Structures are given as C-alpha cells and as structure tokens.
Amino acid sequence: MPHTGSAYLAEGPRVGLRHFTYADGPEFTARVRESRDLHHPWLSPPATADAFTAYASRLIEDPSKVGFLVCTRQDGAIAGFVNINNIVEGAFQCGALGYGVFAHAAGRGLMREALGLAVGHAFGPMRLHRLEINVQPGNAASIALARACGFRREGFSPKMIHIDGEWRDHERWAITAEMRASG
C-alpha cells in the first residue's frame, strides 16, 4: 500500500523524498521484481522480504548512510530510491550517491527531479560539501542523469565495485556545493 502521509523531507512538483521504513518492504520488493530487466546488470536492489529488512536496517541504523524513497506526490507510490552512502564528516563532508528508478516510473523525468531534491537536501540540512556518483560506463541513462543534475566526470576506475558477481569498471562523477550554487 502506498504511503500517503506528507512526511516528505523534500518535495518537488511531482515527487517527494522520505526515509525508508520497514513497512515499505512489500511495495519496494514488488517494484524491484518488476524492474529486474531494467536494473540488470547495473544494480541489484533487495527483492525479498529478508533482503529488504537487512538493506533498510543499514539505511535506518547506520549513521554513514541515508536512504530516501522517491514517491510520486499524486499517490504516494514508490517510484525509486536515492541513497547517500559512505558519508564522511569533519573536513571531508562528502557522500556517495546510489540510486535507481522502478520500471513503472522510468523515462518520465522523476529521477532527475528526485536526484535534484536529494542533492539539495545533502547540501542543505545535511551540510555536506561534495557528492559522488560511480557509474558503469555502459549505463547511458545513469550517466545522462548525473550530467543533467550538474555532476562532472572526474575519472575512471577499473574494476572498482563488485556488482552481480563481477568487479566492474566505473566512471566517477561529482558535484560540490559551490558547483550547484553557481549552476
């Protein structure tokens, strides 16, 4: 059942961001199963109840991570997710973004709006200074999203992240608070 409360941390015209809850498991995992072809081989979000509980637990309880569900404001349905991982405070003030859209919401511009909201939240209330996105070179949609949201390509790392049973190459994209303010 979609979330219909207005507990959004950030809202745009079509989507809102809110934190994960354990109660989101059935809707989230159903969307993951529907989106398997879209996600493979780029990411593997949790598709079972137990996997979701473990995943949500890390996002809810680990202070070095923050997870946001992207929900359509019209009906509260989960359209995707944006996570800020590896948050480092102190002099670094940065985090690494991971995100995914679900098949029913793909190609509608919802993730561009959501990623913009997440970046604004990270640079605003979270007081981060830099965000990074690591993208497999063949993932044209994700690269286009990073570029559209003002991220710049900073480099290439061979065999950087273990995904779907293999170490995969990644392009590194980043944005700073100053870049966003001037963009």
Give CA–CA dist 103/35, Å, rounded. 5
Q: How much of the chain exceeds pLDDT 90, in percent?
A: 89
Can you say whether the dihedral through the CA atoms of 116, 121, 124, 128 is positive or negative?
Answer: negative
Write down the domain spans for the chain.
10-132
| Confidence bin at 1 (pLDDT 50/70/90) | very low
* pLDDT tens-digit readout, 14-25: 999 999 999 999
Per-residue pLDDT tens over the stretch 129-175: 999 999 999 999 999 999 999 999 999 999 999 888 889 999 999 99
3, 10, 175 from 133: Cα distances, Å: 28, 20, 9
Query: What is the pTM assigned to this prediction?
Result: 0.92
Distance from C-alpha of 119 to C-alpha of 175, rounded to nearest angstrom: 9
92: which residues sit within 8 A by CB, 6+ positions away? 129, 130
Please compute the mean of the pLDDT values over residues 32-56 and round it to a whole number. Answer: 94
State the fold for domain 10-132.
Aminopeptidase (3.40.630)
Model confidence at 3: pLDDT above 70: no
66-72 and 78-88: which strand pairing? antiparallel
Q: Where does the pLDDT of residue 6 fall: very low under 50, low under 70, confident under 90, or very high at 90 and above?
A: low
